Amino acid sequence: MKINESVYRHVDQGVTEMILKPGAPRNASQPVTTMLTTDPSPLSTSSPQNSTFLLLLPIETLERILSELASPRDLLHLALTCKKLAALIIPFHIFYRVFKCDIGDIHANMWQYLIEVPHLTRRFHTLICVEKYEETWDETCDEACDETCEDYDLPPFPDDWYSNITPAATPLEVISRMQSLVKVTTELYQISMFQLLQILAASCPLLQEASLSTTYVPHPATMPYVPAGLSFPSLKSLRLNCKDYGTDSLPSFQLLRLALLPKLTSLELDTNITLRDGDSVSTLFTNVTYPSLCELTILCEGKFFDPMMVEGACIDIMQEFFSRNYTIERIYIYCQTGYIWECTYLDHENCPNLQVLGVRHDRESGVCLSDVLCTTLAPQLTKVSALLCNFCIDLFLSMEFLQECDVKLPQELIPRFLANLSVSIKRLHTTLSDGPFKGKDTYIAAISRMGNLTHVGGFGWGALNLIGEGDQDIFSALSVLPHLKYIGIQDPTVWIPRGRLPLSKFDVEEGWGNLRSHWRGTIDTIDVFDWVQYQLRW
């Protein structure tokens, strides 16, 4: 820790020697209270000398010292030292480090209040500012607002602050003062994502996780100037949700393409825009390198490339992107038209570290796993979610390390598919693309040989298949699996713990509502395959 030299000019002559000298090294295990005195033992409230020393310091000096501290543990040590410090530290430094609100309900005076109290604003490490947030504002925050207004001689906070819409400029001013932000989740109204990115780059050097979404962004008359060389030195996860597409999104993509993102490991682009001539979401992927990128997610319900681009140029963009960013380990791409995958072919040369692959599209595009995956890349995959056709089945022969598989395929291909699956697989779910369940004899025996399975489901199974009797019973056959924990059924879609099986025939006949009232521990598919994005599910 380094205390600013200006602090010394505000301290009395007799106290100066008791403060740590600027630039002195700090032991990580040593509390701050030890460093503020010449005594090697920590400060104690029972020590009159220590309490007197702290009371000698003026408020301005104490605030400057506290502004240099970021550790809640160190702040708590100081707060327990004397009441004078506790009044400054609690609650602003310890309790209120997360700011969350409903952007549609927050009063404009709240933003002005945060600007007037920088001592509080610069302490926030998490900003959650979205529409219709379930936990809009804690009651304790209202109490803190009233107390702080009195301490800083500000006008009382109004009671009707829920009724007004936030103006566009003020939230950006507040965010620019949140210098300690580590995590940001925003869905701001009529605020440019381009401006928001610029402010985060300039004011939040500690930012590690950002999920940015803007709505109803006014289209500027001219294309704004896109600065080059902006830096996000600590950013690890970035999610962009472009709900309202216009000239604002293009400079945002261009800004990120030119920015420095040395630690970015996860990039997600979620857009439902409709492209016009000259517009391209692929701007974000043109001639760009993210040296630490491990996870790429693209959820595009419109066109990804400029409609005027030729197919060869589109292929070059994607192939060059993957060649530059060879560190990628997980790829999830959903495209309504499937055109991204038509221009993308993954092989071991451009994706040497790929382990997880999710391929999703609408029914018309019909992009299968074999259309995007080379046989040389298949052996290194551990998790797969995709549509399968007749040409895809042989790829699973070489997937010796496959652990989780969530696929959609015709029922006639299931016997071949199960025969080619590695016995090391632990979680398996299949969705039938045609016809109802035709009986257990065709593939139950193949499933029974996979001794490592902990979760198995799909196949058109329903609750009647788990009652432990009848021709369509599958529970008796699956019970031989030693590690099985859950069985998934599709009518209704739910995963049932093995300990709750077999089902009662009476409960099944009474309906799922009756089953829900009696069971505990059922989970959904999103809990089993948490690595698969919601839009990638069948």
Task: Give the residue from 89, 110, 128 where a domain finishes.
Answer: 89
Report if residue 498 sits inside a domain.
no
Same domain? For 33 and 67 the reply is yes
Report if residue 137 sits inside a domain.
yes
β pairing state of 266-271 and 237-242: parallel
pLDDT value, residue 31 = 35
Q: Which residues, in sequence order, are bridge partners of residue 495?
A: 488, 523
Same domain? For 181 and 68 the reply is no
pLDDT value, residue 379 = 92
pLDDT value, residue 353 = 93
483 C-beta neighbours (distance < 10 Å), count:
12
Report if residue 254 sits inside a domain.
yes
The pTM for the full model equals 0.73
Same domain? For 249 and 208 the reply is yes
Task: Give the residue from 89, 115, 138 where a domain finishes.
Answer: 89
Peptide bond before residue 91 is cis, with ω within 30 degrees of 0: yes
Report if residue 273 sits inside a domain.
no
- pLDDT tens digits, residue range 26-75? 333 333 332 333 233 333 333 444 445 666 777 777 766 666 665 666 76
Same domain? For 193 and 109 the reply is yes
Report if residue 486 sits inside a domain.
no
Start-end of H helices in 96-189: 108-116, 118-121, 139-151, 169-175
The vertex-163 CA angle with 161 and 169, nearest 5°, equals: 75
Range of the domain at 80: 5-89
Same domain? For 104 and 213 the reply is yes
Longest CA–CA span in the chain (Å) reads 92
HEC string for 381-406: CCEEEEECCCCCHHHHHHCCCCCEEE
Same domain? For 139 and 187 the reply is yes
Q: Six-digit token pair at 110?
A: 């709240």
Same domain? For 159 and 238 the reply is yes
Tally of structural domains, the chain:
2
In eight-state DSSP terms, residue 412 is G
Q: Which residues lie closer than 8 Å to 310 by C-beta, 6 or more apart?
A: none
Q: Is 486 left (phi over 0), alpha (psi -120 to 50) or beta?
A: beta
Report if residue 17 sits inside a domain.
yes
Report if residue 229 sits inside a domain.
yes
pLDDT value, residue 143 = 46
Same domain? For 103 and 134 the reply is yes
pLDDT value, residue 17 = 26
Q: Which residues, in sequence order, are bridge partners of residue 300?
A: 271, 335
Q: Which residue is listed with tokens 């920015």?
A: 259
Cα distance between residue 17 and residue 243, in whole Å: 58
Per-residue pLDDT of the chain (538 residues; tens, 9 = 90+): 333 333 323 333 222 222 222 223 333 333 333 233 323 333 333 344 444 566 677 777 776 666 666 566 676 776 776 666 666 665 555 555 778 777 666 666 777 777 877 767 877 888 888 765 344 344 444 444 444 444 444 444 444 433 444 444 578 888 898 888 999 998 876 777 888 899 999 999 999 999 988 766 666 666 677 787 889 999 999 998 876 555 567 778 888 888 999 999 999 988 765 555 455 667 778 888 899 999 998 887 766 776 666 767 777 888 888 889 999 999 988 876 656 776 778 888 888 999 999 887 655 556 788 888 888 899 999 999 988 888 899 999 999 999 999 998 888 888 899 999 988 899 999 888 776 666 566 678 888 889 899 999 888 887 777 777 766 678 888 888 899 999 888 766 788 888 877 777 766 666 655 555 555 667 777 788 888 765 555 5
Cα distance between residue 3 and residue 342, in whole Å: 58
Same domain? For 124 and 252 the reply is yes
Report if residue 438 sits inside a domain.
no
Q: Which residue is listed with tokens 């010292």?
A: 65
Task: Give the residue from 89, 106, 127 where a domain finishes.
Answer: 89
- pLDDT tens digits, residue range 74-91? 767 767 766 666 666 655
pLDDT value, residue 186 = 86
CATH code for position 257? 3.80.10
Same domain? For 116 and 175 the reply is yes
Same domain? For 220 and 108 the reply is yes
Same domain? For 103 and 243 the reply is yes
